Structure 1
Amino acid sequence: MNIMNWLENRLMEPLGRLAQNTYLQAIRDAFVIFALPVILTGAIFLIIANPPTSIEWAPIQAWANAVEPIQAQILFPFQLTFGIMAVTVAFGIGYSLGERRDVDSVMAGILSMLAFLMTAFPVEDITKIPFGKILDYLGGQGLFVAIILGILTTEAMRFLIKRGFAFELPAGVPPYVMRTFRVLVPFMVILPTVWILEWIVWANFGITIPQAVLELFSPLVAASNSYPAALGMILLMMVLWGMGIHGMNVVSSVAYPFWMTQLAENAEAVSAGATAHGIVTEPFFHMFAHIGGSGATWGLVIFMLLSRSRQLKEVGKTALIPAIFNINEPVIFGLPIVLNPIMFIPFVLGPAVIVTINYILFATGILPPVIIQPPFTVPIFLGGFIATGGSVLAGLVQVIDAVIAALIYWPFFKRYEKTLIEQEQSAQEG
């Protein structure tokens, strides 16, 4: 219990505060609420343009032959939606942070988006700049600048308005007019400032701000795609969950930009017929590690349904339907796993093992790269199939992962079940 107390007092409290950080919450909201629908829509066209030709089936081959002459046209929606991912994130962060900072959220989103757009273009005759030349930096390669500017422009807007740098019109003026004039000064100060900074960088280095920041962050992106990073992330997630803190939320709030950069680069590589190298993405965890929910608890739900313990059987009945959609709070808090020394061990060990196996499968090319981020509620097999653009093997690996995790849970579950059965029998006799 000394270890548990140390974790609770020294680790969980600061990490809990981190999960509630205003900026990290705004970043997470920007990806999940604003960017995800755009990405999913574009991903549909990526699947259509790249049928799973590894499946030797006549309808698949006919599909491939039909789309080959018009593949570029089919990929147009994908390239545009993924290509403006950072623009969407910039707006989403401004909007989400604006709501939390009590400023006009729509105007904050628009300001963040315009500020980001100003950094993505070279400071030269804009009419002569091919759109395709800067598309990458409006998408995955511009995410870091979109995040930084989303935060800075919203905070600068709030600062200026709170300090009185805003036009306040008399009562009776229509609200939409009042709304426009209240943010006019922040727009007129912040946008020219960003433009000057972009001009300075372009004039001195011949690159845009997103290009400069991407070069700066590229070692971190590479490091986040390593096995030690993947293992460290999953261990932290599980330890946090074991203490009652939403581990995925804590880790993703920091790691999401790195995951999405890898995912965007994978999708772009596949669409161009090149090799994709990104492994550690959001679906790497949600689709291939959190099977049935965080901790890969699908097998555990089945064990509970078949248990001789009345308590476990009832929890299993409650947890079954949510588990189908990868939601397992009934297991984590109902079994419980939280602060349960017996079940905490397989809860951490199982995901660590399957993350290790999956990393090897992706790194060796046995599994095709993840190119799509399905919603985390997509059931087992379908999630892996969709995430990899139509790999049946990826769906089967999800099932195998669930079996491996179940085998790890089994001896610990039986030990815990025995304890509960003895307690239930004692209660009956008493």
Structure 2
Amino acid sequence: MGNAVSKLEKIMMPLAGVISSNKYLLAMRDAFSIILPFMIVGSIFGIMSWVVLDPQGTVMGVNGLNVGASLTGLTGEAYLASDFVTKLKNLQTLCGLVTTIGFDVFSLLLVLSFSYRLGGIWGGEKFMTALTGVAAFLIVTPQKIGDAGGFSTAYFGNKGVLTAILVATVASWLFVKLSKNKKLKITMPDSVPPAVAQSFAALIPVGITLGLFATFSAILIWFDIPALNNLIYLAIQAPLLGFSQGLGFSLLYQFLVWFFWWFGIHGHNVTAAIQNSIYMPAQLANQAGDASYIFSNGFFEAGLMHIMGLVIAIFLFSKKDSWRAVAKIGAPAMLFNIQEPLAFGLPIVLNPILLIPYILAPLVNTIIGWLVISGGLVPIFRFVVPWTMPLFFGGMIGTGSLAGGLLQVVWLVVDIIIYAPFVIASNKIKDGYEEK
């Protein structure tokens, strides 16, 4: 077993190191992290709108807690026609304005944050690079919707994620490359204010970059080709979303995440490209109500708690003082899905006896989640919640249903059962041998 681990380590460590240290992928990961607060705030207001304030929803509706009827003393059509319901709908509209910022213009925010990060890693002026990326994205976005004209948020939401990544990459690279060419730089006298000098220095690079994007868009229009957003969505993103909903692909994704983690490498960083380009758009589509994807960011983040199954199994079955001591220290962190104290303190990393359950538990959770959501027993994970949300509450809020929290409880019970035999078997292994 030790030889097999050593051979795998020699293969996986260099590969994972290259992927996880790639500056472009790190910039992409950071770009999504930067705009995460907007998503969470938008989701909170979405939960308020759809779960709490909806006159026929979970809290107010007759099929839920029926609070609306209790407060008004009205039922049926009289309740729906009441001033109370009108006020609830007005509050829903206000919540919708905030939700729009988090989801309906997500791709626009992504272009801004990603271009900013790319400007930094490629040595350009970050803010000007970000503005150039946004301008390029607007140029390739269809600008006449109906007779009145204007933009449609359909091109700024979940359908525009891959377009945002592509446009931000190309526009940022072009601008930074051109701005480093001294022949294209307009130099102003020292007496000119720095901000003015900077704007003139970027004038030609910005003009060339945006001119190229405008030419490209004009060619598409001239030959009556669909806009870039539609091309990328129909040719790449939509097929990827459909393919990613297959159980086999999702299991492979989970396997890679936790296999890398077992080697001590941040598995979610290594697979960030898959998460951000496939499962994040699925989450956005669920939140917007455009689709009902089973496998999304929220689904997999709700399953992060599988290591809590190991913690409980240790408390129940382990006779090793070292394991029980680490479990006591790591348990509070695991309440918020932070596994590092256990991963490196127990350790889980490169521990042969925990390899199988560490990877098997999330795979089994994925299958169970797929079965119950497909069968309609649990709603899809619609709402974005912080990945540190504790067990039960994360599932309940993410799905907007008590069934989501119960799903996490079922996962935990199954995880305890999976980890238990291996924890019991570890009692027979001496600490010295294990450390070796």
* TM-score category, normalised to shorter length: 0.7 to 0.9
After superposition, give the CA deviation of every residue in 1:282-335 in whole Å (9 maximum; x if it has no partner). Answer: 111111x211xxxx1102223445643221122112212211110011111111
Q: Does 1:163 align with 2:207?
A: no
2:200 maps to amino acid: F
CA RMSD of aligned residues (A): 2.5
Residue 361 to residue 182, structure 1, CA distance change in 2 (3 Å): farther
What is the correspondence of 1:241-280 to structure 2 with a 5 Å cutoff? 241-269=261-289, 276-280=291-295
2:294 maps to amino acid: I
- Aligned counterpart, 2:8: 7
Residue 104 to residue 130, structure 1, CA distance change in 2 (3 Å): closer
What is the correspondence of 1:82-161 to structure 2 with a 5 Å cutoff? 82-122=103-143, 128-131=148-151, 134-161=152-179
2:380 maps to amino acid: P
- Aligned counterpart, 2:194: 175
Structure 2: gaps (5+ residues): 52-56, 72-78
> Equivalents in 2 of 1:41, 1:303: separation in Å?
36
Q: Does 1:283 align with 2:283?
A: no
Do the aligned partners of 1:23 and 1:151 also contact (CA within 8 Å) in 2? Answer: no
Residue 181 to residue 318, structure 1, CA distance change in 2 (3 Å): farther
After superposition, give the CA deviation of every residue in 1:318-364 in whole Å (9 maximum; x if it has no partner). Answer: 21221111001111111111111101110011111011110122222
Q: CA deviation at 1:195?
A: 1.4
> Equivalents in 1 of 2:149, 2:104: separation in Å?
16
- Aligned counterpart, 1:428: none
Question: Which of 322, 327, 333 is matched with 1:322 structurally?
Answer: 333
Q: CA deviation at 1:38?
A: 1.7
1:300 maps to amino acid: L
Structure 1: gaps (5+ residues): 271-275, 425-430
2:379 maps to amino acid: P
> Equivalents in 2 of 1:286, 1:332: separation in Å?
17
- Aligned counterpart, 1:42: 42
- Aligned counterpart, 2:75: none
- Aligned counterpart, 1:427: none
> Equivalents in 1 of 2:176, 2:146: separation in Å?
31
> Equivalents in 2 of 1:169, 1:420: separation in Å?
73
Q: CA deviation at 1:26?
A: 1.4
- Aligned counterpart, 2:402: 392
1:409 maps to amino acid: Y
Do the aligned partners of 1:41 and 1:78 also contact (CA within 8 Å) in 2? Answer: yes
Mean CA deviation greater in 6-15 or 345-354: 6-15
Do the aligned partners of 1:319 and 1:331 also contact (CA within 8 Å) in 2? Answer: yes
Residue 126 to residue 316, structure 1, CA distance change in 2 (3 Å): same
Question: Which of 204, 214, 218 is matched with 1:195 structurally?
Answer: 214
After superposition, give the CA deviation of every residue in 1:395-430 in whole Å (9 maximum; x if it has no partner). Answer: 111111111111100110122233246879xxxxxx
Question: Which of 403, 422, 429 is matched with 1:419 structurally?
Answer: 429
SS at match of 2:64: coil
After superposition, give the CA deviation of every residue in 1:181-214 in whole Å (9 maximum; x if it has no partner). Answer: 2322221111121112112112323522101111
Q: CA deviation at 1:177?
A: 2.4
- Aligned counterpart, 2:32: 31
- Aligned counterpart, 1:273: none
2:422 maps to amino acid: F
Q: CA deviation at 1:379?
A: 0.7
After superposition, give the CA deviation of every residue in 1:203-241 in whole Å (9 maximum; x if it has no partner). Answer: 323522101111111212211121111100001111111
> Equivalents in 1 of 2:374, 2:22: separation in Å?
34
Question: Which of 298, 302, 312 is matched with 1:302 structurally?
Answer: 312
- Aligned counterpart, 2:66: 58
Residue 160 to residue 342, structure 1, CA distance change in 2 (3 Å): same
SS at match of 1:368: coil
SS at match of 1:187: helix
Do the aligned partners of 2:310 and 2:416 also contact (CA within 8 Å) in 1? Answer: yes
- Aligned counterpart, 2:54: none
Do the aligned partners of 2:43 and 2:385 also contact (CA within 8 Å) in 1? Answer: no
Residue 41 to residue 203, structure 1, CA distance change in 2 (3 Å): farther
Residue 418 to residue 121, structure 1, CA distance change in 2 (3 Å): same
Do the aligned partners of 1:304 and 1:315 also contact (CA within 8 Å) in 2? Answer: no
> Equivalents in 2 of 1:209, 1:374: separation in Å?
31
Do the aligned partners of 2:336 and 2:389 also contact (CA within 8 Å) in 1? Answer: yes
Question: Which of 361, 378, 382 is matched with 1:367 structurally?
Answer: 378
> Equivalents in 2 of 1:31, 1:50: separation in Å?
25
1:146 maps to amino acid: A
> Equivalents in 1 of 2:112, 2:222: separation in Å?
27
- Aligned counterpart, 2:76: none
> Equivalents in 1 of 2:336, 2:105: separation in Å?
29
SS at match of 1:419: coil
1:361 maps to amino acid: V
Q: How many residues align?
A: 409
Identical-pair percentage? 29
Do the aligned partners of 1:385 and 1:391 also contact (CA within 8 Å) in 2? Answer: yes
Do the aligned partners of 1:117 and 1:138 also contact (CA within 8 Å) in 2? Answer: no
Do the aligned partners of 1:308 and 1:421 also contact (CA within 8 Å) in 2? Answer: no
- Aligned counterpart, 1:353: 364
